[in-house]
Amino acid sequence: MNAMTKKILLRTALLLCSAALLSGCVTSKQFRSMQLNVRNIDNRLVGMENQIDQVTSGGISATQSLQKQQASLASELENLNIEMLQIQGQLDESRHHSQQLQEENLRLQKELDNRLLNLEAANQQLAATNRKNVAKIAELEENIAAIKEKIAAEAEKRAQEAVRAAEEARRRAAAAAAARQSAAASSSRTKELTPRTHKVAKDEAAAAPSGQSKPAQSTSGSSEPSVDKSAAEKLFDTGLGHYRSKEYKKAITTFTSFLDQYRDNKGLVADARFWLGASLLNSGDYSGAVLEFQNIVADYPDHAKAPEALLKQAEAFEHFGDKMVQRKLYTDVLTYYPDSEQATKAKELLKKVQ
């Protein structure tokens, strides 16, 4: 019976120790306490075996002593069972707590993984957005650069146009001033003549526009210099042909060449100057036209083209917007060439600039 009790106690102690070791949740202090209890029980069992041996040899008194010890051992065994139950409860509680911690850890790990995935997705989306923004910014910069270049080119173009317009305005102003001075000088000189001296023959005026009329006679009565008239007339007709074909630049070149080569040909010089002025007028060189027509009025006041030169000169001043000069030129036609065909036209045009 005592040997059986010893085996039970040893198994109980071993189970307690094994449970504690396997669980890994018992503290080292509790483990040492259980070790001491097991050793104490083991020592007591050894003492009881010795006492049993003595009882066997010593009699009833030893038996009674052994019974007391057995009772004490049973009490300690009961205490040990209670302690084992307490430890088992702590083990269960610790295991439950450990399971909760593991579940919480898994939950946190899963939540962390989800957050990392969301952050990674957001980062990728942000990177894609940044790439798009960078591309848009680059495109905008290119557009801005192109617009700046266009604005700069447009500004340069306008500046050049402004410079050209200013130069043209200065040239026109200079030409207009020169034309006014020349017109005033011509007017003062023509005032010395009576209107009758400026009478143009109808047959001469009618033949003049065709370029086929005979050269006008010089008012000085001097003889015509010896020149190659056929070459001069051929060059004159070439220039007139360019004018009638509206090839004004070629006409300007041809009549300019004629005046350089045949300046002494008084019969055709006035006509050449008139058609040169008309070519300049039609090509848009109004200042040059004014000067050429003024040369005819000043140098050849008796020529058939003189009254028409005044009308053409007035037409050029119309582009300058100078009505005062236009009125004076129309008045000069009426005053100095009252019997000419141009006088009727000048009278009508004068009413429009009043």
Q: What is the 3-state secondary structure (H, E, C) of the chain?
A: CHHHHHHHHHHHHHHHHHHHHHHCCCCHHHHHHHHHHHHHHHHHHHHHHHHHHHHHHHCHHHHHHHHHHHHHHHHHHHHHHHHHHHHHHHHHHHHHHHHHHHHHHHHHHHHHHHHHHHHHHHHHHHHHHHHHHHHHHHHHHHHHHHHHHHHHHHHHHHHHHHHHHHHHHHHHHHHHHHHHHHHHHHHHHHCCCCHHHHCCCHHHHHHHHHCCCCCCCCCCCCCCCCCCHHHHHHHHHHHHHHHHCCCHHHHHHHHHHHHHHCCCCHHHHHHHHHHHHHHHHHHCCHHHHHHHHHHHHHHCCCCCCHHHHHHHHHHHHHHHCCHHHHHHHHHHHHHHCCCCHHHHHHHHHHHHCC
pTM to 2 decimals? 0.42
Domain identity same for 86 and 173 = no
Q: Is residue 120 part of a domain?
A: no
Last residue of some domain: 54, 69, 90? 90
pLDDT value of position 193:
39
Same structural domain, 182 and 300: yes
**Lowest mean pLDDT across 110-119, 162-171, 258-267, 312-321:** 162-171
Contact 288, 273 (CB under 8 A): no
Same domain (yes/no): 84, 232: no
Tell me what percent of the residues of the chain surpass a pLDDT of 70.
Answer: 66
Asked whether residue 270 falls in the same domain as residue 177, the answer is yes
Is position 223 within any domain? no
Report yes or no on 127 lying in a domain.
no
Domain count, the chain: 2
Please say which residue of 90, 114, 142 terminates a domain.
Answer: 90
Q: CATH code at 333?
A: 1.25.40.10
Question: What is the residue range of 269's domain?
Answer: 168-211+228-352
Indicate whether 176 and 297 sit together in one domain. Answer: yes
Domain contains 340: yes
Q: Do residues 250 and 348 both lie within one domain?
A: yes
Lowest mean pLDDT, pick from 67-71, 217-221, 344-348: 217-221
Same domain, 78 and 172: no
345 by Cβ neighbours in 10 Å (0-12 / 13-18 / 19+) ranks as middle
Tell which of 70, 90, 110 closes a domain.
Answer: 90
Identify the pLDDT of residue 217: 36
173 and 260 housed in the same domain: yes
The answer to whether residue 147 is domain-embedded is: no
The single residue listed with the structure tokens 């090839």 is 247
> Is 268 among the domain residues?
yes
Could you tell me if residue 102 is inside a domain?
no
Check whether residue 240 and residue 336 sit in a common domain. yes
What mean pLDDT is predicted for residues 93-112?
89
